[in-house]
Amino acid sequence: MTIRFGSRTARIALLLLALFGASSALVLAQNPPRAEPRAIAPRGPLAASEQSVVNLFEAAAPSVAYITTEVVQRTGLFTAEVGQGAGSGFVWDSAGHVVTNYHVVEGARRVFVQLDAGAPIEAKPVGVAPEYDLAVVRLAHVPKNLRPIPLGTSRDLKIGQSVYAIGNPFGLQRTLTQGIVSALDRELPTIEGYREVAGVIQTDAAINPGNSGGPLLDSAGRLIGVNSAIRSASGSSAGVGFAIPVDLVNRIVPALIARGRAPLPGIGIVPVRPDLVARAGIAGVVIDQISRGTPAAEAGLRPLNRQSGDPGDVIVAVDGRRVETLSEFAAALDRVGIDNTAELTVNRDGKERRVRVRVIDLRH
């Protein structure tokens, strides 16, 4: 039968067709075709290099601490408010001692340490060493199965070897970053200004605000440094981070735990202020005073004569290594170590001579 579109039958057929199509579209809209999830391709085992990093993190992470502090900040002549700070740290021993940077806990009225997913535990300061930017706090309550971080050594590090930083950058807990030893034997200024930490490790592992006080690990998961600072115009990681070497940490921390203070290497002199020396155009350490009975006095060193203006003995080198500033001299004595002997090169009346001097602990 032929359908003419102008006929009544044709109009009814077109209407039915339109209604059928609309209802079908409505059904499809309400019940779209069901999409089955795609099959997952087998992963297989992790590469050996990946698995070693996973194992390293899982072993070290329980020893890493998230540290928060309460600090009273003055807002006016008679007003103040409580501010908060944050950083990282790590478990030193099973007695509950936790190591961090001094600048993380500086001025804090309360310190809290969080381990794993547990609640923060209040901690009390045990000892601080601003000249090394190190501090030790002790947990008020020591959890069971506390895991001290394994200690390594920094004396045999090689530029190019892999390192790993774990910390809490920007408050993001348990962050792992990876890099290499970028350089060795850097010097890091401390908040005291006239001293520098010697033998500092430079790394390109990402270190950001909040990483301070956290561990720098070698590929065996051992502590080789304490992440302390970054060099960056933006204040965030630029691939130049610095860590205090563990050999120094392992000398300072036991002293802080035992006596609450760190040994301070010296020879018994009071130096002239560095800014005055620099203003006079002198490269070296000018001696203002010499304490009686000290190695400097026994070695016959001569101080500045304020009446005549004679600079006396200007220390220009330690063990053959030039020192032009007081901070370089302090770092050199750190390298020599307490109870060891340093050979000083001093300039007197325009002539250089060598003097052997014993290094002592000025705080003993």
Is residue 173 within 8 A of residue 48, CB to CB? The reply is no
**156 in active site:** no
| Catalytically annotated residue among 63, 88, 97, 103 | 103
User: Which residue in the block uniquely carries the two structure tokens 């600072």?
Assistant: 229
C-alpha distances in angstroms, 364 versus 39, 108, 351, 352?
71, 27, 34, 32
Whether 129 and 167 share a structural domain: no
Q: Does 147 map to a domain?
A: no
Give bridge partners of residue 321 from the DSSP assignment.
318
Can you tell me which residue has the tokens 């890099």? 179
pLDDT digits (tens, 9 = 90+) for 194-241: 577 888 999 999 888 888 899 999 999 999 999 987 665 556 666 788
Q: What amino acid is encoded at 166 in this protein? A: I
Residues 135 and 112 in one domain: yes
Statement to judge: residues 238 and 270 lie in one domain:
no
Enumerate residues 6+ apart whose C-beta is below 8 A from 18: none
**Residue 96 falls inside a structural domain:** yes
Q: Is residue 309 domain-resident?
A: yes
Rounded to the nearest angstrom, the gap between the alpha carbon of residue 361 and the centroid of all alpha carbons in its chain is 26
48 lies in some domain: no
Domain count, the chain: 3
The residue among 235, 259, 283 that closes a domain is 259
Handedness of CA 261, 266, 267, 271 (dihedral sign): negative
Helices (H), 61-101: none
Do residues 169 and 107 share a domain?
Answer: no
CATH number at residue 319: 2.30.42.10
**Cα 340 to chain center, whole Å?**
29
Tell me, yes or no, whether 254 and 281 share the same domain: no
**170 and 250 part of one domain:** yes
CA distance 210 to 240: 15
Q: Would you state the structure tokens that stand for residue 150, as one six-digit string?
A: 């394994």
Domain containing residue 192: CATH number: 2.40.10.10
Residues 171 and 254 in one domain: yes
CB atoms within 10 A of CB 338: 17
Measured in whole angstroms, how far is the alpha carbon of residue 339 from the centre of its chain? Answer: 29
* pLDDT mean across residues, the chain: 85
Q: Which of 88, 133, 218, 327 is catalytic?
A: 133
| 145: in domain | no
Give 150: exposed, middle or buried? Use CB within 10 Å, 0-12, 13-18, 19+: middle
DSSP 205-256: S---TT-TT-EEEETTS-EEEEEEEE--SSSS--S-EEEEEHHHHHHHHHHH
- Furthest-apart CA pair in the chain: how many Å? 133
Single residue among 259, 279, 297 that ends a domain in this structure: 259
Query: Catalytic pick from 154, 182, 212, 237?
Result: 212
Residue 46 forms part of a structural domain: no
114 and 77 within one domain: yes
Query: Half-sphere exposure (CA, 13 Å, Cβ side) for 236?
Result: 3
* Angstrom distance (rounded) from CA 229 to CA 196: 13
Clarify whether residues 253 and 294 are in a common domain.
no
Q: Which domain holds residue 175?
A: 162-259
Residue where one domain finishes, among candidates 139, 172, 190: 139
Q: pLDDT tens across 57-84, in order?
A: 999 999 999 999 987 766 666 555 666 7
Q: Could you tell me if 137 and 113 are in contact, meaning their C-beta atoms sit under 8 angstroms apart?
A: yes
Q: For residues 164 and 220, give the distance between their C-alpha atoms in angstroms, rounded to a whole number.
A: 10
Catalytic residue flag (residue 63): no
Tell me: do 320 and 342 sit in the same domain. yes
Q: What is the DSSP string of 242-258?
A: EEEEHHHHHHHHHHHHH
Tens of each residue's pLDDT in the chain, 364 residues: 444 444 555 554 544 445 555 555 555 556 677 788 888 888 888 899 899 999 999 999 999 999 999 877 666 665 556 667 788 999 999 999 999 999 999 888 899 999 976 789 999 999 999 989 999 999 999 988 899 999 999 999 999 999 999 998 887 888 999 999 999 988 887 766 557 788 899 999 988 888 889 999 999 999 999 998 766 555 666 678 899 999 999 999 999 999 999 888 999 998 988 888 888 888 899 999 999 999 999 999 999 888 887 888 999 999 999 998 888 888 889 889 899 999 999 999 889 999 999 999 988 7
Q: Can you tell me the distance from the alpha carbon of 217 to that of 239, in angstroms, rounded to the nearest whole number?
A: 17
Q: Is residue 53 part of a domain?
A: no
Active site (annotated) includes residue 212: yes
Residue 144 lies inside a defined structural domain of this protein: no
**111 and 172 housed in the same domain:** no
In a shared domain, residues 128 and 170: no
